[in-house]
Amino acid sequence: MKTGNYINYGFSYFQDFFNEEELSLIEPIIIKFHNSWLKENQEFYSKGAINSHSLTSSKSLSKQDKKILFEFISSNKMVNLIEIDNPKFLNTQLFFDPNNLNQKNYWHRDIQYTGISEKDQKEAIKTQNVIHFRIPFKKELGIELIPETHRKWDSTEEYQVRNSLNNKKPSDSLKKGNLIKLERTDLLVFSANMIHRGIYGNNRLSFDIIYCDNDPKILKFRDKKNLPIELELKEFKNAEIFG
């Protein structure tokens, strides 16, 4: 198993982290959600969507399906890897290929979409942790990221690419880009705040669990419907992540 270092670099890669038994427990639930999402979001998908979210509040999943997802999300295997104090569960996402495979990907920081000023983004990334745990069900071309940018603001080139300035495009290559290819059974932990992009292809399907700091400024984005409200919290091992 190869581990990176989230604290210093903003990502950790765990090769062959899951076994088939663990994956096959959640995979049918993920596929059930995805098929139903595709049916309900045909137009959104045809216009370029590359992800869906909020699996744990979905009407297409049963209480039992959600219990299995919550057990996975709060398992020791996951929670012991979160390198921050008192982590909280924020949400889930699925990443898939765009309908049009010529669609370009885009470098970004998730924080740029939260509506806070750039001055506040610069300040927030110095301490804030919003962490994706990416679980690919298929071999995928991977995630490309710029190490250390979970704490460091953009270089001029990175800033111009990310913001389409000076004739640059968000899909242009970046010098410090570090591509992490992923296989089924791997896990990639990475900061949502760092500069990153997904590489489309191979009909990818990745389940991302997002954890974050116990910080009201982040938790205001948490939709309570995604928490195990219909289930007894005491049934889960690390139930405090849902608190």
Ligand X SMILES: O=C(O)CCC(=O)C(=O)O
Contacting positions for ligand X (CB under 6 A): 50, 95, 110, 132, 143, 192, 196, 198, 208
Q: Beta strands of the chain (E only): which ranges?
A: 11-14, 51-53, 88-96, 130-136, 140-145, 178-182, 187-191, 196-198, 205-212
Cα 212 to Cα 72: distance, rounded to the nearest angstrom? 17
Assigned token pair, 89: 């569960």
CB of 110 to ligand X, least distance (A): 5
Of the candidates 39, 62, 60, 38, the one whose C-alpha atom is nearest the C-alpha of residue 51 is 38
Quick one: DSSP state of residue 164?
T
For ligand X, which is the closer residue by CB, 88 or 109?
109
**Minimum distance, C-beta of residue 77 to ligand X, in the bound complex (Å):** 20
Closest CB to ligand X among 34 and 132? 132
Minimal distance, residue 239 CB to ligand X, in Å = 25
**Smallest separation, CB 139 to ligand X (Å):** 14
As a whole number of angstroms, the distance between CA 236 and CA 224 comes to 17
Q: Which is nearer to ligand X, 209 or 236 (CB)?
A: 209
DSSP summary character for residue 111: G
Q: How far is the CB of 95 from ligand X (least distance, A)?
A: 4
- Find tokens 């690919």 and name the residue: 136
In the complex with ligand X, the residue whose CB is nearer, 88 or 132, is 132
- Residue showing the smallest CB distance to ligand X in the complex: 198
Pick the closer one to ligand X by CB: 4 or 236: 4
